[in-house]
């Protein structure tokens, strides 16, 4: 199943122009994520190739490029406008010659070419579970054996007693008061509301080792994992591949507000 969602129209030219400013209220969350990615990838070779899935305006590459002069980056994103902004940043900061920009899907890229991948604030746009699994599998297929993935996304256990408090924290920090009701209504529909355990299971289904949870900031969760040994191309019939996918834990749906 292709991992292309119908959600990316939102990342149009206007959004691309405003994105860096719009994300500013949670900049501290992103800074911490980038620090963790830096640590997770610290032992990669000097000539590593990094796949940046859903690269947006290149925040991940902008953090890593000055730290590793030999690393090369494949920035893939279905939004041409976001990648235009990414290219402008890369040019201004002097690492554009180490970047390849692909407007489109991860599945469009050559296979097994990368030492590591990031997917920051992307996979929650895949509300459908199997599409989200396919997105992770597309990344796994583009990693060398044992390649690393750092993934961070919105994830929430809607049944957990802490959910209301954590959602309230997220809304307070990130969503203007007049938009908070519509954000609550959108959560689980416009963006996925899969529980952290479900997201972990999706990564495993996609061919990664059980991920290590290493980050939470309000609704954002982060994991580091590795392409599992024996995880071949999803398109190949592999004797190691399960004959049918393991069922995912059920997705609790957001309760209607009274
Ligand atoms: C919230 S932005 C995050 C950008 C960047 N990773 C960051 O942390 O600043 C999400 C980006 O994911 C892209 N995107 C959405 N669905 C995607 C998909 N299925 N595959 C790749 N990118 C996708 C959007 O176009 C957008 O640029």
Q: Whose CA is nearest to atom 13 of ligand 1?
A: 54
Rounded CA-CA distance 35/15 in Å is 26
Give a yes or no: residue 124 inside a domain: yes
- pLDDT at res. 21: 80
The two three-digit tokens of residue 204, written as one number: 């495993």
| Mean per-residue pLDDT, 111-124 | 95
Overall number of domains in the chain: 1
Length of the chain: 258
Give a yes or no: residue 110 inside a domain: yes
Q: Whose CA is nearest to atom 23 of ligand 1?
A: 54
Give a yes or no: residue 13 inside a domain: yes
Cβ(120) – ligand 1 distance below 6 Å: yes
User: What mean pLDDT, rounded, does the chain reach?
Assistant: 88
Distance between Cα 238 and ligand 1 center (Å)? 30
Label residue 112 by pLDDT band (50, 70, 90): confident
Give a yes or no: residue 231 inside a domain: no
CA-based nearest residue to 210, from 221, 193, 197: 197
- pLDDT at res. 24: 87
Q: The domain that contains 95 carries what CATH number?
A: 3.40.50.150
Give a yes or no: residue 114 inside a domain: yes
**Which of these ranges, 7-11, 78-82, 240-244, has the smallest mean pLDDT?**
240-244
| Neighbouring residues of 233: CB distance < 8 A, sequence distance ≥ 6 | 111, 112, 141
Give a yes or no: residue 192 inside a domain: yes
Cβ(29) – ligand 1 distance below 6 Å: no
For residue 115, the enclosing domain spans 8-226
Atom of ligand 1 nearest to the CA of 52: 6
| Neighbouring residues of 253: CB distance < 8 A, sequence distance ≥ 6 | 158, 188, 193
Give a yes or no: residue 33 inside a domain: yes
Give a yes or no: residue 78 inside a domain: yes
């Amino acid at each position: 199943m292709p991992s292309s969602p119908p959600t990316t129209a939102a990342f149009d030219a206007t959004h691309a122009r405003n994105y860096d400013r719009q994300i500013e209220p949670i900049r501290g969350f992103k800074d911490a994520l980038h620090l963790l990615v830096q640590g997770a990838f610290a032992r990669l070779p000097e000539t590593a190739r990094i796949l940046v899935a859903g690269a947006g305006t290149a925040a991940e590459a902008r953090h890593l490029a000055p730290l590793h002069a030999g690393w090369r980056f494949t920035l893939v994103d279905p939004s041409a406008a976001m990648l235009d902004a990414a290219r402008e940043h890369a040019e201004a900061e002097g690492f554009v010659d180490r970047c390849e920009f692909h407007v489109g899907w991860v599945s469009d890229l050559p296979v097994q070419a990368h030492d590591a991948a990031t997917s920051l604030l992307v996979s929650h746009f895949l509300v459908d579970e199997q599409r989200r699994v396919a997105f992770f599998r597309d990344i796994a297929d583009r990693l060398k054996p044992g390649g690393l993935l750092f993934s961070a996304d919105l994830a929430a256990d809607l049944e957990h007693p802490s959910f209301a408090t954590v959602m309230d924290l997220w809304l307070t920090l990130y969503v203007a008061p007049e938009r908070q009701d519509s954000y609550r209504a959108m959560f689980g529909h416009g963006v996925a509301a899969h529980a952290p355990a479900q997201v972990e299971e999706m990564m495993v289904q996609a061919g990664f080792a059980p991920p290590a949870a290493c980050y939470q900031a309000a609704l954002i969760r982060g994991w580091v994992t590795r392409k599992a040994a024996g995880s071949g191309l999803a398109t190949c019939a592999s004797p190691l591949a399960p004959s049918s996918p393991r069922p995912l834990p059920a997705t609790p749906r957001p309760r209607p507000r009274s």
